[in-house]
Amino acid sequence: MRSRSWVQAHPHPPPAGGVGAGVETGFLNSCRQQHEGTDLPAGWPPADFLRAEIHNQDTREPAEPTIIGRTSIRYGLTENLLNYGGHIGYAVAPEFRRQGNATEILHQSLILLTDRGIHRVLINCDDDNVGSAAVIEASRGILEDLRFKPGDSLRTRRYWLTN
């Protein structure tokens, strides 16, 4: 049997492909600063970058968890986030899609925002991302509008959710 869990103490790892220790250290330091809200550019909101994991409980020996996705949770909105990014950005690895994982990641992200006193949440997705739009709408997201990001031909769907 597998169970989902969240790891908040460790942000998701940087992209693979020969990333050096210095880059990884810089990435982790940036995640820590954003979590703490320290040394951020003017107007930049605190944020958390978390990974979603599945722990295999079928074995007797502890096994490394499998990372199935990630979420970016922003505890405020800049003008750019208001128009194109939102409070939450999540992704699920292709082999773990269509199994309820995106819904769980979104719901856990909403809990963390509620814990910070944010009850009206903006979440956006690309207009052609049918799966994400379905997850957001099934989670009571209300479509406000669609917007074009300057220099991009794809529209962004903007949804509001109330916790």
Summarize pLDDT for 97-112 with one digit per residue, the tens. 999 999 999 999 999 9
Pair type for strands 120-126 and 66-74: unpaired
Please give the average per-residue pLDDT across 70-89, as a whole number. 92
Look up residue 34 and give its DSSP letter: H
- pLDDT over 80 at 14, yes or no: no
Average pLDDT along the chain: 82
Q: What pLDDT is recorded for position 67?
A: 87
- Going by pLDDT thresholds of 50, 70 and 90, the confidence category of residue 75 is very high
- pLDDT over 50 at 1, yes or no: no
Contacts of 103 (CB under 8 A, 6+ apart): 135, 138, 139
* Bridge partners of residue 54, in order along the sequence: 4, 66
Would you list the domain boundaries of the chain?
A: 2-162
CATH topology assigned to domain 2-162: Aminopeptidase (3.40.630)
Please give the average per-residue pLDDT across 58-74, as a whole number. 81
Please give the average per-residue pLDDT across 6-35, as a whole number. 56
- Buried/exposed code over 13-31 (b: 16+ C-beta within 10 A; e: otherwise): ebeeeeeeeeeeeebeebb
**Residue 111 burial by Cβ neighbours in a 10 Å radius (0-12, 13-18, 19+):** exposed
CA distance 135 to 112: 18
- Please state, for a pLDDT cut of 70, what percent of the chain lies above it: 81
Q: What pLDDT is recorded for position 53?
A: 87
CA distance 157 to 6: 27
Q: What pLDDT is recorded for position 16?
A: 44
Residue 35 main-chain phi, psi, to 5 deg: -60, -45
Q: What pLDDT is recorded for position 149?
A: 85
